[in-house]
């Protein structure tokens, strides 16, 4: 009987949300002493950034990354009439200097010069910069990077200028790119560039990632600072790309405890995912008290994704966006992964409606890309139940417990002195880390984990059609 009672309590803990706790956390965050810019309760100002040409690039015939998904998304957004609910911007391209705020000069020079026609001349650099099968050289590669990165940078500056409460750039969210190399279909890390812009004005930035793949490039960039907290919800078994995202990757030096990972197993469903997301994000915001949020909405965490193995519906994915929006903190929303093109477009269209507080018809409006959405032509197709759910109650409660234990080390929000930040903000952060390194070694211990752990390519990461990822991979529990 005692054992049965324990299980019932666990079940109640997991699936019954504590409204009192959430109300307390929101009241704590929104108290007058926080000096946070809040959106109006009556009207949320949304800015939408879309480059008309960003969907015209092509990674290769058999490559799963299809920039054309951005064109489909934009058409649905316009056909649903949501342009009337937002300011629409055609962003300028990022300059070399802006990209160099994070990326190394030799890597940027390589991206600028290499083309399919002259690739043989640069072949000796391919391994160094990690280009090849998953990150191919294609026509206009650097131009493509400038377009999506420029949109994220412009969106960040719009938030800084208080020109909007929410900024959207679905072409952004390429979270795997590193300082000196491409990774996971990503060449320039627009999220890091946008976050560096936000740090010029906002004391603390929270990064949230709901892509099925770990947001390793962003975590690595801010692994040693307490001004950015990275929170990633992703599949993890040590093998699934990119091979990082263990729950013990918590940050180092000043950033110790400011990297938070929520490792999940195959087949997680709507109820469990949204429960975990709410529990973690409520606690993170209550402890970290961010001044701005960057939300990466990778759609490969949807059910039936070409490279994914979760069972999330578009509504549940959008519910996570709604949870973040409800905090009324300046918010930058970007895209990310997503390899079943028709579902990516549906998802980001629906999430645009969430962000603009618009109710959409279940029947997709007539548009020139209508054939992509047959046979149902619906906004919310059935995407659930395709993969067996390996996330049992015991495992999820264990993950939640570990997350809450980590957050308890953050007794209060870090004390950030408001000061002018030099133009070379990356150098500013590096100097900040060096200055505190010796102190943190003694105060916080030396038990640190390498955030990268090497590059791992999972054999199930490549498919030729939407039906090829049945029975993809096996998960294993992380060690406690």
Topology given in CATH for the domain delimited by 44-461: 3.40.800
Q: How far apart are CA 92 and CA 230, in angstroms?
A: 27
Got the DSSP string for 348-403? Answer: HHHHHHHHHT----SBPPP-TTGGGGTTT-BSS----SSS-----HHHHHHHHHHH
Q: Does 251 count as an annotated binding residue?
A: no
The answer to whether 225 and 433 have CB atoms below 8 angstroms apart is yes
What pLDDT sits at residue 37?
52
Strands of the sheet containing 46-49, edge to edge, are 87-89, 46-49, 166-169, 331-334, 292-296, 205-209, 228-235, 259-264
What pLDDT sits at residue 214?
98
What pLDDT sits at residue 475?
39
Q: Does 184 count as an annotated binding residue?
A: yes
Q: Does 226 count as an annotated binding residue?
A: no
Q: Does 216 count as an annotated binding residue?
A: no
Question: Model confidence at 24, in pLDDT bands (50, 70, 90)?
Answer: low
Query: For the ranges 23-37, 106-120, 401-415, which has the lowest average pLDDT?
Result: 23-37
Q: Does 441 count as an annotated binding residue?
A: no
pLDDT average, residue stretch 68-97: 97
Backbone dihedral region of 360: left (phi > 0), alpha (psi from -120 to 50 degrees) or beta? beta
Annotated catalytic residue 83: no
**pTM for the predicted model, two decimal places:** 0.82
Of the two residues 67 and 385, the one the predictor is more confident about is 67
- What is the domain partition of the chain in residue ranges? 44-461
How much of the chain exceeds pLDDT 90, in percent?
Answer: 75
**DSSP three-state, residue 416:** coil
Question: Model confidence at 466, in pLDDT bands (50, 70, 90)?
Answer: very low
What pLDDT sits at residue 416?
52
Backbone dihedral region of 369: left (phi > 0), alpha (psi from -120 to 50 degrees) or beta? alpha
What pLDDT sits at residue 347?
98
Of the candidates 103, 175, 176, 317, the residue annotated as catalytic is 176
Q: Does 134 count as an annotated binding residue?
A: yes
Report the chain's mean pLDDT, rounded to a whole number.
84
Q: Give tens-digit pLDDT for 357-394.
A: 999 999 999 999 999 999 999 999 999 777 999 999 99
**DSSP three-state, residue 307:** coil
What pLDDT sits at residue 25?
47
Query: For the ranges 21-25, 45-49, 196-200, 328-332, which has the lowest average pLDDT?
Result: 21-25
Q: How far apart are CA 225 and CA 412, in angstroms?
A: 16
pLDDT average, residue stretch 260-288: 97
Got the DSSP string for 165-203? Answer: SEEEETT---TT--SS--BTTBSS-HHHHHHHHHTTT-S
Q: Give tens-digit pLDDT for 185-239.
A: 999 999 999 999 999 999 999 999 999 999 999 999 999 999 999 999 999 998 9
């Amino acid at each position: 009987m005692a054992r049965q009672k324990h299980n019932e309590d666990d079940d109640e803990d997991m699936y019954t949300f504590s409204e009192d706790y959430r109300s307390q956390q929101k009241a704590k965050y929104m108290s007058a002493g926080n000096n946070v810019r809040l959106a109006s309760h009556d009207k949320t100002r949304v800015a939408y950034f879309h480059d008309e040409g960003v969907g015209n690039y092509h990674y290769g015939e058999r490559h799963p990354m299809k920039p054309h998904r951005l064109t489909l998304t934009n058409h649905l957004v316009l056909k649903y009439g949501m342009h009337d609910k937002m300011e629409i911007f055609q962003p300028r391209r990022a300059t070399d200097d802006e990209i160099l705020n994070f990326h190394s000069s030799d890597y940027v020079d390589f991206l600028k010069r290499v083309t399919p026609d002259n690739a043989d001349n640069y072949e000796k650099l391919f391994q160094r910069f990690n280009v090849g099968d998953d990150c191919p050289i294609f026509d206009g590669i650097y131009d493509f990077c400038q377009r999506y990165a420029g949109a994220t940078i412009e969106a960040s500056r719009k938030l800084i200028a208080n020109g909007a409460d929410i900024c959207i750039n679905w072409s952004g969210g390429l979270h795997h790119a590193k300082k000196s190399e491409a990774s996971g279909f990503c060449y320039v890390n627009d999220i890091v560039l946008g976050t560096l812009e936000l740090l010029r004005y906002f004391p603390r930035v929270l990064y949230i990632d709901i892509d099925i793949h770990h947001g390793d490039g962003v975590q690595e960039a801010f692994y040693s600072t307490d001004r950015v907290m990275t929170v990633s919800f992703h599949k993890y078994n040590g093998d699934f790309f990119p091979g990082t995202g263990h729950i013990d990757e918590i940050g180092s030096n000043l950033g110790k405890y400011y990297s938070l990972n929520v490792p999940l197993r195959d087949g997680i469903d709507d109820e469990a995912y949204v429960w975990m997301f709410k529990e973690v994000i409520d606690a993170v915001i209550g402890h970290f008290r961010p001044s701005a949020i960057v939300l990466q909405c990778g759609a490969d965490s949807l059910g039936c994704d070409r490279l994914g193995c979760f069972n999330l519906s578009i509504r549940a994915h959008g519910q996570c966006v709604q949870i973040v929006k409800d905090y009324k903190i300046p918010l930058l929303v970007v895209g990310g992964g997503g390899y079943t093109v028709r579902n990516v477009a549906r998802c980001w269209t629906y999430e645009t409606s969430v962000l603009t507080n618009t109710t959409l018809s279940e029947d997709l409006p007539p548009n020139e890309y209508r054939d992509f959405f047959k046979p149902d032509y619906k906004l919310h197709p059935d995407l659930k139940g395709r993969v067996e759910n390996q996330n049992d109650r015991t495992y999820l409660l264990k993950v939640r417990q570990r997350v809450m234990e980590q957050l308890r080390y953050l007794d209060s929000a870090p004390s950030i002195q408001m000061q002018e930040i030099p133009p070379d903000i990356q150098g500013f952060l590096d100097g900040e880390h060096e200055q505190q390194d010796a102190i943190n070694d003694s105060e916080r211990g030396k038990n640190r984990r390498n955030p990268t752990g090497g590059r791992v390519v999972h054999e199930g990461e490549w498919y030729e059609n939407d039906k090829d990822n049945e029975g993809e991979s096996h998960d294993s529990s992380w060690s406690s």
